[in-house]
Structure 1
Amino acid sequence: MWAVWANIFMDTYNDYSKYSIPVIDLEGVYTDATKRREIIGEIMEVCGKWGFFQVVNHGILMSVLDEMIDGICRFHEQDTEEKKKLYTRDVKKKVSYMSDFHLYSSPSADWRDTTSCVMAPHIPDHDELPTLCSDIMIDYSKQVMRLGHTVFELISEALGLNLNHLKDMDCAEQLLLLGHYYPVCPEPELTWGTSSHTDSDSLTILLQDQIGGLQGLHENQWVNVLPKHGTLIVNIGDLMQLISNDTVKSVYHRVGARHIGPRILVACFFKP
């Protein structure tokens, strides 16, 4: 029985579809008016049809992305007694460490641990953040906020609004950073790294390592978001779909459990 399920799982996980996640090049977005109009057109099409896309030339240095991945890995691979100092299941805490969010409410647990930090509107003090990655979390969050503001401007203009419209609605006021750590899974056919879901926020910016595993649902097919060094992934959240009257789409996505790893994914959620 499990062998049959494993084959079904792998057929689902492997991307045999004709689709690939769209890529938007942000080069010239602030310096070339013609290029900006082209990007806005691409944003409108992709957000309406996919709700999920990759960005290149986003302005965040490769070294910052790599250090963010390494920092999350360092935190999760340190001594357990150190990690316990931040362990809590109280979702109101600004900084926390826990295993699967739905551990006690779902029939099965996702195969991951997570460190969670609210990085905006008020940046936590260094001594509140995980010691092994506090500096990079602050640096990365500031740069992701700038990128997020750019994407909100482009979506606003794509919707025919003033470029600051979504920001003025406080869609980008809060930033929640989640550092997911997916250990090697001995039986990946029995679980998920992160099960299928949509995000309830306005917008999410994702950074995944080179092992990958992220998938988005498009036209009833799961499409692999293949890792490409230096690329970030943007996906529309439920709130954005709601306030746009379904003009842009919130997309289901998931992360498969794998027998290789560990794997790192950093998700930054923009919220009112």
Structure 2
Amino acid sequence: MKEGVRRFYEQDEEVKREYYTRDVARKLVYNSNFDLYTASAANWRDTFFCYMALKPPNPRHCLKLAETYMEYSNPVVNLGQLLFEILSETLGLRPDRLKEMDCAEALAMICHYCPPYPQPELTMGASQHTKNDFLTVLLQDQIGGLQVLGDDGEWFDVPPIPGTLVVNIGDLLQRGAQSPGEQGWARNIGSMLSSMSFQPSEKLFGPIKEPLSEDSPPLYKETPVTEYLARFKDQGSGDNPPLLFCKPEIDSLMVPDTEF
């Protein structure tokens, strides 16, 4: 998979230009600094994005990534289904509950590539951000660079381990699980990341109903997923991520301590 991504990015610019766009509604998107107009700082990276589930792109339109994408996406989908079952049981729900909520209806593949730069200490592949999805399965290259923000406010490295994947919990799963804690912040100071992002269908989404009660009211309001994603696109995921706009008015709600 990593070699397939590298082959795509190392093609001639004339070949890749056909796919260059900032229209995120297209099934295949290739651009540089995709959040250039919303991020607080520019990120030194190119990005290739495509949907792999529900309505995947025509393989012949994916150039050299076609076969690689298709082979990689199938086992990752199976892994995602298993993870959703485990997470459902961890939340005290039926194993199929999260899948029943269409958590795995859409699958997107996102490949970041950081071209060489003469002063790498002045660049960042991805500034601090959260994920606007349910679940992300992340494949790092051998150079690494992934960092996660700890509870103490310090960034710590997540070095690549051969043969392993990194799983990130996204904003939407945090909403569904009624998690009251801080969002999971990450950033990348390395060269290349490939990820599979499990996203929901286009409908209202909010806290899972089963755990709710008078003693445990919803921490987040129901919101159309399309509205949330539009807010994410316009606002970005920096210092004030769009998950915050999904919270109810605190003045009218007593928020209890909740553990899952």
Give the CA deviation at 1:201.
0.4
Match of 1:80 in 2: 13
What is the alpha-carbon distance in structure 2 between the residues aligned to residue 105 and residue 238 of structure 1? 18
- After alignment, is 215-224 or 162-171 more displaced? 215-224
Runs (4+) off by over 4 Å: none
Is residue 208 of structure 1 aligned with residue 140 of structure 2?
Answer: yes
Match of 2:177 in 1: 244
Contact 1:203 1:270 in 2 (8 A): yes
Alignment of 1:216-231 (within 5 A): 216-219=148-151, 220-231=153-164
Aligned residues with identical type, % of pairs: 46
Give the CA deviation at 1:247.
6.5
Match of 1:153 in 2: 85
What is the alpha-carbon distance in structure 2 between the residues aligned to residue 163 and residue 120 of structure 1? 21
Give the strand-richer structure, 1 or 2. 1
Structure 1 residues 207 and 233: alpha-carbon distance in aligned structure 2, compared to 1, 3 A threshold: same
What is the alpha-carbon distance in structure 1 between the residues aligned to residue 136 and residue 38 of structure 2? 24
Query: After superposition, what is the alpha-carbon deviation per residue over 1:113-153, rounded to whole angstroms, capped at 9, x for unaligned?
Result: 01111101222221222x11100101111111110111111
Contact 1:212 1:226 in 2 (8 A): yes
Query: After superposition, what is the alpha-carbon deviation per residue over 1:191-234, rounded to whole angstroms, capped at 9, x for unaligned?
Result: 31100000010010100011100011121221111111111000
Give the CA deviation at 1:189.
3.2
Alignment of 1:50-61 (within 5 A): none
Is residue 193 of structure 1 aligned with residue 125 of structure 2?
Answer: yes
Higher RCO (CA-CA < 8 Å; seq separation 6+):
1
- After alignment, is 247-256 or 93-102 more displaced? 247-256
Is residue 182 of structure 1 aligned with residue 110 of structure 2?
Answer: no
What is the alpha-carbon distance in structure 2 between the residues aligned to residue 72 and residue 111 of structure 1? 17
Contact 1:108 1:191 in 2 (8 A): no
Match of 1:99 in 2: 32
Query: After superposition, what is the alpha-carbon deviation per residue over 1:11-51, rounded to whole angstroms, capped at 9, x for unaligned?
Result: xxxxxxxxxxxxxxxxxxxxxxxxxxxxxxxxxxxxxxxxx
What is the alpha-carbon distance in structure 1 between the residues aligned to residue 138 and residue 107 of structure 2? 13
Structure 1 residues 83 and 221: alpha-carbon distance in aligned structure 2, compared to 1, 3 A threshold: same
Match of 1:33 in 2: none
Unaligned runs of 5+ in 2: 201-260
Match of 1:110 in 2: 43
What is the alpha-carbon distance in structure 1 between the residues aligned to residue 105 and residue 97 of structure 2? 13
Contact 1:123 1:138 in 2 (8 A): no
Structure 1 residues 236 and 176: alpha-carbon distance in aligned structure 2, compared to 1, 3 A threshold: same
Q: How many residue pairs align between the two structures?
A: 199
Match of 1:162 in 2: 94
Query: After superposition, what is the alpha-carbon deviation per residue over 1:158-185, rounded to whole angstroms, capped at 9, x for unaligned?
Result: 0010000001100111011011111222
Structure 1 residues 249 and 104: alpha-carbon distance in aligned structure 2, compared to 1, 3 A threshold: closer
Question: Any idea what SS the aligned residue of 1:137 has?
Answer: helix
Contact 1:99 1:112 in 2 (8 A): yes
Match of 1:126 in 2: 59
What is the alpha-carbon distance in structure 1 between the residues aligned to residue 14 and residue 118 of structure 2? 25
Contact 1:100 1:109 in 2 (8 A): yes
Contact 2:41 2:127 in 1 (8 A): no
Which AA in structure 2 matches 1:271? Q
TM-score (norm 2): 0.73
Match of 2:2 in 1: 69
CA RMSD of aligned residues (A): 1.5
Question: Any idea what SS the aligned residue of 2:125 has?
Answer: strand
Contact 1:241 1:249 in 2 (8 A): no
What is the alpha-carbon distance in structure 2 between the residues aligned to residue 237 and residue 170 of structure 1? 15
Unaligned runs of 5+ in 1: 1-67, 258-262
Match of 1:268 in 2: 196
What is the alpha-carbon distance in structure 2 between the residues aligned to residue 205 and residue 247 of structure 1? 23
